[in-house]
Amino acid sequence: MTVREWFEKAQQDGFAIGAFNADNLDIFKAICVAAQRKKSPVMVEFSSGEVEYFGLKNIVSLVVNAREEYGIPILLNLDHAKKVEDCMQAIDQSSFDLIHFDGSELEFSENISGCKKVIEAAHAKALPAGRQVLVEGEIDKIAGSSVVHNEEIDFEALHKSYTDPLKAARFVSQTGVDIMAAVFGNVHGVFPTQPDLDLDLLARIRKSLPNTFLSLHGGSGISADQVRRAIEVGKIVKINVNTELRQEYKDALSEKMAENPDEYAMYKLVPDVILAVAAVVEAKIEVFGSAGRV
């Protein structure tokens, strides 16, 4: 199935596909293990920093090999790419399913212009049968960063960043973007006081974009009930998760190193760490409703 077919199935059947950032090889393995155990489609995604760490061609090789090894649908996403040229390089690799052009820091007209260039290249890319590339757009900068924050979030500033349904509709009509990253209380990272999702706003965004897929970024720290309601109300098809994976990886690795202070071969320590991170992914898959879809 193509990425569009998976999104259509998710929208029709009322579930979302987890899009998990692969911060390192161990987390990448954990994502694949969890999806295989849960018989779930999964999306692995790489931000610009993660692309720089792995190397673009190495990412493609990892995912192509994993698709065969784990025998599950593994979709590949370039996450929060702020440069058109970075998007073009990923499109040229022919193994990416989704390209997220994040023009939220640009003027609205520049964002439209950049997004259109990416969409034209992605949709024109000649690919083998059963493959296609979709493009995700973003007009409102999502607050926070993918860490565990000690400070409280500025709720007044956060509300100002929420997506205007009419502005989103103008963006979609002028770009033809496939999926929109909406902002309605979702943030990057985990905060001491996590914002509630504005589900009424999400309903209005959904109504203004009847033919566009919607994604939920900042899936860490949101209660299971709110996530399920967002999938129901907004027909969300993709939910991004990063911070909780990094947090579990760091905690589990620190614990294993403390238990084994004389061990220097990290590969002997990480199997349990991978399973710990996989457990987090499995729990998210259950909440998103994608388990057993393969």
Catalytic residues: 79
Picking from 84, 79, 262, 253, the residue whose alpha carbon sits closest to that of residue 181 is: 79
Flag whether 188 is marked binding. Answer: yes
CB 42 within 8 A of CB 35: yes
Q: Please give the full DSSP string across 45-70, using - where no structure is assigned.
A: EE-HHHHHHH-HHHHHHHHHHHHHHH
Flag whether 114 is marked binding. Answer: no
Flag whether 144 is marked binding. Answer: no
β 74-81/42-46 pair status? parallel
Picking from 230, 206, 290, the residue whose alpha carbon sits closest to that of residue 10 is: 290
Flag whether 102 is marked binding. Answer: yes
Dig out the tokens for 180 from the structure: 């929109």
Report the C-alpha gap between 257 and 286 in whole angstroms: 30
End-to-end C-alpha distance for the chain, whole angstroms: 11
State the amino acid at position 93 in one-letter form: Q
Which residue bears the tokens 């987390």? 27
Flag whether 259 is marked binding. Answer: no
- Can you list the alpha helix ranges (DSSP code H) found in 125-190? 155-160, 165-175
Angle at 275 between CA 256 and CA 222, to 5 degrees: 105
Flag whether 48 is marked binding. Answer: no
Flag whether 240 is marked binding. Answer: yes
Flag whether 138 is marked binding. Answer: yes
Residue 251's SS3 state is helix
Flag whether 100 is marked binding. Answer: no
Picking from 258, 263, 211, 271, the residue whose alpha carbon sits closest to that of residue 235 is: 211
Annotated binding site for dihydroxyacetone phosphate: 189, 218-220, 240-243
Annotated binding site: 80, 102, 138, 188-189, 217-220, 240-243
Annotated binding site for Zn(2+): 80, 102, 138, 188, 217
